[in-house]
Amino acid sequence: MSNKKTVSIWTANADWQQSTLREIVTPAYSDDGESLGSEFSNAFSLGFIDDDFIEADIVEPTKNLEKAIEDFSYDSDIIAEIKKKNLSTSPEKINTVITIYDCAYKGKTTAYILRGIEFTYRGQFEYKD
């Protein structure tokens, strides 16, 4: 039996290398080993995010969220949810996607500029585990 879970998705149009994207989602730690969060998690007040629950990738530029999410974990379930919510089209090009699994983002910040690039929250979607 499969469980329904939630993924939250953010997108951007960044001219970054994969290494820069990795830097903004990698948490920093204090001298005591306490997680200080990542630039991304701090920007959206997400708190601690286990590395096993986040995917961040640079994709082929598109204005179609369905296409941008292809090849991410659980993509067929997520794409079906995107279609159901009629959120396929993006007003701006997407070439960077961050997904956080088992995360139902309820923050007030829907867009935030990190290192000169605007990241936009696209919504939360169900998938089956």
* pLDDT value, residue 48: 87
Q: Is the pLDDT of residue 1 over 60?
A: no
Position 35 in a domain: no
Position 116 in a domain: yes
* pLDDT value, residue 129: 84
Position 25 in a domain: no
Position 23 in a domain: no
Domain count, the chain: 1
The helix/strand/coil state of 95 is: strand
Strand order in the sheet with 89-101: 54-64, 89-101, 4-12, 117-128, 111-114
Q: Is the pLDDT of residue 77 over 60?
A: yes
Position 108 in a domain: yes
Position 26 in a domain: no
Position 30 in a domain: no
Encode pLDDT of 25-75 as tens digits: 999 999 999 989 999 999 999 988 998 999 999 999 999 999 999 999 999
Position 44 in a domain: no
- What's the pLDDT band for 2 if we cut at 50, 70, 90? low
